[in-house]
Structure 1
């Protein structure tokens, strides 16, 4: 029996308290809802007048006034959940469709075989392989494949790390960190970017040029960071943060050997995926396509994939539903997060909060004020790791503040997006992170030591991009 097991068994008699599990996101959200109900008895309701200017609903910054409002009750909590799910139904459906279709594509082996093909082409060149893996998962994440897909590919990264005599941290980092480097830019992300820009009343995928610069910058920094660590480990294995006996081999090797060959159907599916994204972008810029057309595009992609790979109709539906079920948790988070906003609006507290925060930011200047909002969102993301759920909570609060500071809504959105990305790679509340660590057999402490310097670099770089966006009046395109 292990030492840890003995400690756990003796804990009650030794008076050692058992650690409480980290609360689930739904528990946190429900806690917020209870706090809002209590706050409705303490914080006065307030309201700004809204005006419509060039199609945008803006806040009249000089119109705030306190108003009378009835405090909320227990029934309001549960009715708000229903209202939140209904109000966020279009985004929830999009998440289910994207999750289902990506599961269909993943089940064909197109993604895994394509990555395996890259390994053989690089012929063991360490830095090139790290760059290719980081870039591949960054691109996938940036166009809408959720970073949690990295969980399935961690064994491939471990196999590559073993073949290069590197530790599992490198194998996990080039997949997991690559995915989140792409998530930071979210250039054509049909979920989080669409959610945030929809709430900000911006054209879908607008501002992609600046986000592309962010994407390249974060990817370059991340790749260089991993390559530097890998070089140190390669030169002297004792430089590894991990203990040598923790090195993983057999499982990764076995997994990699079972990967399918990169067939013609696989190539067609990946090409079709890229073409589908281009097709929607064309419609978005020329015909004002939105979430409905984006869902339709993904559904057509799924059907075309089934035809190319000769998936039977029944099997296609089974895989589609299976993929949708895997993202159901995140989809429901969006609805419950929307319920938090429903309660805030019912209690008429949003404008009061906005007025209070805006008053605090008054006198700091546009850039400093947005930097403070950026830091607030970084901290908030440590609790709510769901990008769509976080967008549903913070964007309605950040947008009026940005409006009153006369900051473009694109700048406000990028402040949210960068704040949403950075702390995902280190917060223990991230299910994706903890799952990847479990597969790679890396302890959270080891990962924290490895990732913390990168987190600090990302925080600083993100702050610089926020400042630049405000300074140049970062606009729609």
Structure 2
């Protein structure tokens, strides 16, 4: 470990809340420029979802954001994001109870001791493991609960919180982006486009391998740099503040029976979450409830009394208030656009631009349009419902396969979820990790540029090989 250096100068980047509110203001001003418009929504017979009627776009009465409504949009955003906000508080509080028992440190310490000399293998292992979740059942919100565990592993290995969070969230993102058998993105989009379910899977498997390899190399490079010189960490100040909580491998806590019982509770809880997501359509509410049960039972097994459990829960929830509220402020951006009726206008305008492009360029144009739309409609299935009824027939018009249009949606929806501030999953993960949004973007932008470039290449290849079946 390199000798500690003086703390870096304070960043001149505006506070995260300021950056997000500036985006809200820009969107509010845009409501005076972009004509209001709407599509009709109809029920799709193949998927059972409400989708747009591509022929129904019409302009409606303008409803620009007033000064006072700009500010009422903030509590409305908080209200609409309440499920994720309280999910963050409950998971953060419950995990603090479990952490306070010492079970996480004792368990991780034993694992790290066994792999000493091969520490970096943890990074690709985490990425591959979580990519399988993203590729098969669309793991996104479900990955949030694993962020603290990833960070604990990373810090024990001499890395930082960014590495810990990235091992989990970027792993899930790789699988989600490739969409090998993701029912919430590829499944929905192919249903709307009237393609056979999960057709074209070989192309997506190859894409997953490529994205995983590049992401692993990128993260390993950053992790090695931080391990060699901790001051190179983008969250060096955070690591200094958390230094006293870091696991000391030379003085590991005794792995007592109570620790084993706490970890067994966590494992059973995580298995229950996975089964619930697959078999019972569990979502945020059920996952949060399971984590709360894990925290309470784990606290009692760790020999905490009721008051101590409550105290640790509040301590954990308090520590992530900053990040939890960011989710609501980010949701405000969408609230302003929805109230001003300009989201559909943006989609309609961007789709119209594609019709003027030739051949393979049209496919790349579709991809770029989906990337832009993802900022405003970060829900995967929501974006499919809003755009695929337009993009599928548009693909027919410009002479490219509908499977290529689905690929454009899939990649456009997936890649930028890891960096856009309107992504509730990203903001929730950052809040649990206690990482500022600007630090995360500084870390991720080179990889994001590579990912987006891979998307362009994939679109060109898909067009050249007539990626289908049709």
1:100 CA displacement: 1.8
Q: In structure 2, what is the equivalent of residue 16 of structure 1? A: none
Indicate whether 1:131 and 2:128 are aligned. Answer: no
Q: In structure 1, what is the equivalent of residue 249 of structure 2? A: 256
Distance change (3 Å), C-alpha of 1:432 and 1:77: closer
For the 8 Å contact 1:40–1:349, the answer to whether it is kept is yes
Q: Distance in 1 between matches of 2:13 and 2:334?
A: 24
Indicate whether 1:404 and 2:395 are aligned. Answer: no
1:434 CA displacement: 11
For the 8 Å contact 1:414–1:466, the answer to whether it is kept is no
Return the match for 2:62 from 65, 69, 82: 69
Distance change (3 Å), C-alpha of 1:414 and 1:285: farther
Distance change (3 Å), C-alpha of 1:369 and 1:323: farther
1:301 CA displacement: 1.7
Indicate whether 1:182 and 2:179 are aligned. Answer: no
Distance change (3 Å), C-alpha of 1:421 and 1:33: closer
Gaps of 5+ in 2: 1-5, 131-139, 177-181, 192-196, 393-401, 422-428
Indicate whether 1:22 and 2:13 are aligned. Answer: yes
Distance change (3 Å), C-alpha of 1:309 and 1:464: farther
For the 8 Å contact 1:370–1:466, the answer to whether it is kept is no
RMSD: 5.2
Q: In structure 1, what is the equivalent of residue 302 of structure 2? A: 309
Q: In structure 2, what is the equivalent of residue 333 of structure 1? A: 326
Gaps of 5+ in 1: 9-18, 159-169, 188-192, 381-388, 425-429, 438-443
The alignment's TM-score, normalised by the length of structure 1, stands at 0.65
* Cα deviation digits, residues 32-63 of structure 1 (max 9, x gap): 22223322322211111111224311011111
The alignment's TM-score, normalised by the length of structure 2, stands at 0.66
SS in 2 for 1:345: helix
Return the match for 2:417 from 402, 412, 420: 420
Distance change (3 Å), C-alpha of 1:262 and 1:455: farther
Return the match for 1:372 from 368, 371, 374: 368
Q: Distance in 2 between matches of 1:283 and 1:135?
A: 24
1:337 CA displacement: 2.2
1:225 CA displacement: 5.6
Q: In structure 2, what is the equivalent of residue 386 of structure 1? A: none
1:131 CA displacement: 0.7
For the 8 Å contact 1:178–1:222, the answer to whether it is kept is no
Indicate whether 1:105 and 2:98 are aligned. Answer: yes
SS in 2 for 1:23: coil
For the 8 Å contact 1:92–1:331, the answer to whether it is kept is yes
Q: Distance in 2 between matches of 1:396 and 1:21?
A: 36
Counterparts of 1:44-443 in structure 2, within 5 Å, are 44-53=35-44, 54-122=47-115, 124-125=116-117, 128-132=118-122, 135-136=125-126, 143-145=143-145, 147=147, 155-158=155-158, 175=164, 177-185=166-174, 220-224=213-217, 255-362=248-355, 367-373=363-369, 376=372, 391=378, 400-406=386-392, 412=409, 415-421=412-418
* Cα deviation digits, residues 167-221 of structure 1 (max 9, x gap): xxx778864643443242477xxxxx99999x99x9xxx99x9999988765554
Q: In structure 2, what is the equivalent of residue 39 of structure 1? A: 30
- Number of residue pairs matched by the alignment: 402
